[in-house]
A and B are shown apart, each in its own frame.
Chain A
């Protein structure tokens, strides 16, 4: 290609422009979970789809978006107390650990975001987003507590029944959808608090994909 023909890079899979600000695992679960790895996507250098994608001018934009997700997650989990008590250098360490694939560097800070007061049974609210390609809405995000009034731990199934009932099949009905996080289908009986602590993405959100059950 000639240099003058090249403009901003963007990625696409089977006609769908890929949002850079979504975690790649989420994109794969949502769009291509049944396809074999490595995931083949198309790289474009022309005709940036202005209506579908945000521009990504620099790495700083990615850092800013990542940190804003982490902060929002902590607003839900701890009323922002934990993230606000951290120093700027701790925030930087979180980002650098992620950027440079340094697990220990990342978790030295992130583990603080996964703690909760001894007198509580979990976070204040669970940071989650539920994605479906079949709806117009980008995602579902609502306030949801990990513990019920009677002290019982809410499960993944409880969450879905409350915020996305169409995703869950009726008890004796046929299973129409897969509920996927990080490429696996956790049991619906799994406590949401546990999922939040152990299966969140680096931005501290549970990104849950509802995809049609594959027919094979």
Chain B
């Protein structure tokens, strides 16, 4: 694939949990209840929708699972991505949920991609010593004239969690992008992978967007 890794936007993930409820007449009755009045029911509605969501995911082979951790249940999806990595990763932005909600959906996804980049001998030397996996996958470099070179490629793992936030009483999406050895993805790589339609908002308030926007998208 020649495209940079694109994180699926939060929109398709969480709203379908509510979207499922509006999908058919039989399920429409779920939304007639006032979610804010009865928090118990809000969470049970979430769990019901997750069950529907996972059932559908299984039908289309989309990889979402239901996982239980003590009192909490989760849905998971796995994603792995191979990308060219041209410098030491800077900062990483990692949203780890610490909510003690009763259940969540989870998916891990693996993706492979490659990119060509501008590099000079100084940078490529840096890349060579970066990681063993890069060395193994690295293509030969023509140091003499070429200003563009394809260096090593990476496998990136994306992990998505959709859980219920009792504070906001809505589903919340958390995601984590890391290399196979567990190192998290550089923050700028994650931002670069964001879908075009979110990029304008992202550039204006980068920190706000990843954290708050993902939450705000789903406020009822």
A143 sits at the interface (CB 8 A): yes
- Interface residues in A63-79 by Cβ distance below 8 A to B read 63-65, 67-68, 71-72, 75-76, 79
Interface residues on A, range: 20 to 34
With a cutoff of 8 Å between Cβ atoms, the chain B residues found around residue A80 in the complex are 219
- Interface residues in B82-119 by Cβ distance below 8 A to A read 90-94, 96, 98-100
Identify which of B94, B182, B183, B207 gathers the most chain A CB atoms within 10 Å of its CB. B207
Selected from B93, B207, B208, the residue in CB contact (under 8 A) with A55 is B93
Contact: B207 with A139, CB < 8 Å?
A: no
A96, B128: Cα distance in complex, Å: 43
Q: A72-B167, A141-B99 are in contact. Are A63 and B207 (CB under 8 A)?
A: yes
With a cutoff of 8 Å between Cβ atoms, the chain A residues found around residue B93 in the complex are 55, 57, 61
Contact: B70 with A58, CB < 8 Å?
A: no
With a cutoff of 8 Å between Cβ atoms, the chain A residues found around residue B167 in the complex are 72, 75-76, 127, 141, 143
Nearest chain A CB to B166 CB, angstrom units: 5
With a cutoff of 8 Å between Cβ atoms, the chain A residues found around residue B36 in the complex are 79
With a cutoff of 8 Å between Cβ atoms, the chain A residues found around residue B208 in the complex are 64
A56, B91: Cα distance in complex, Å: 7
Nearest chain B CB to A85 CB, angstrom units: 15
A-B contact count (CB 8 A): 59
Over the window 9-41 of chain B, the binary record of Cβ atoms lying under 8 Å from chain A Cβ atoms (1 yes, 0 no) is 000000000000000000000000000100100
Contact: B91 with A138, CB < 8 Å?
A: no
Selected from A54, A127, A142, the residue in CB contact (under 8 A) with B94 is A54
Selected from A57, A76, A141, the residue in CB contact (under 8 A) with B91 is A57
Contact: B182 with A51, CB < 8 Å?
A: yes
With a cutoff of 8 Å between Cβ atoms, the chain B residues found around residue A139 in the complex are 98, 100
B3 sits at the interface (CB 8 A): no
A65, B207: Cα distance in complex, Å: 9
The binding surface of chain A is classed by DSSP as: loop
A2 sits at the interface (CB 8 A): no
B144 sits at the interface (CB 8 A): no
Nearest chain B CB to A207 CB, angstrom units: 13
Contact: A58 with B100, CB < 8 Å?
A: no
A71, B216: Cα distance in complex, Å: 11
Identify which of B39, B91, B96, B184 gathers the most chain A CB atoms within 10 Å of its CB. B91
Q: A50-B184, A76-B167, A136-B70 are in contact. Are A55 and B94 (CB under 8 A)?
A: yes
B211 sits at the interface (CB 8 A): yes
- Interface residues in A98-148 by Cβ distance below 8 A to B read 127, 136-143
Over the window 163-207 of chain B, the binary record of Cβ atoms lying under 8 Å from chain A Cβ atoms (1 yes, 0 no) is 000111000000000000011100100000000000000000011
A175, B42: Cα distance in complex, Å: 37
Contact: B211 with A138, CB < 8 Å?
A: no
Contact: B100 with A137, CB < 8 Å?
A: yes
B212 sits at the interface (CB 8 A): yes
A60 sits at the interface (CB 8 A): yes
Contact: A54 with B166, CB < 8 Å?
A: no
A58, B90: Cα distance in complex, Å: 11
Selected from A50, A61, A68, the residue in CB contact (under 8 A) with B183 is A50
Nearest chain A CB to B217 CB, angstrom units: 14
- 26 example contacts (A-B, Cβ-Cβ < 8 A) are as follows A51-B182, A54-B96, A55-B91, A55-B93, A56-B91, A57-B91, A57-B93, A57-B187, A60-B207, A61-B91, A61-B93, A64-B208, A64-B211, A64-B212, A68-B211, A68-B212, A72-B168, A76-B167, A79-B36, A80-B219, A127-B167, A136-B70, A137-B70, A138-B98, A139-B98, A143-B166
| Complex A-B, nearest 6 residue pairs according to Cβ-Cβ distance, in ascending order | A57-B91, A64-B207, A138-B98, A55-B92, A72-B167, A143-B39
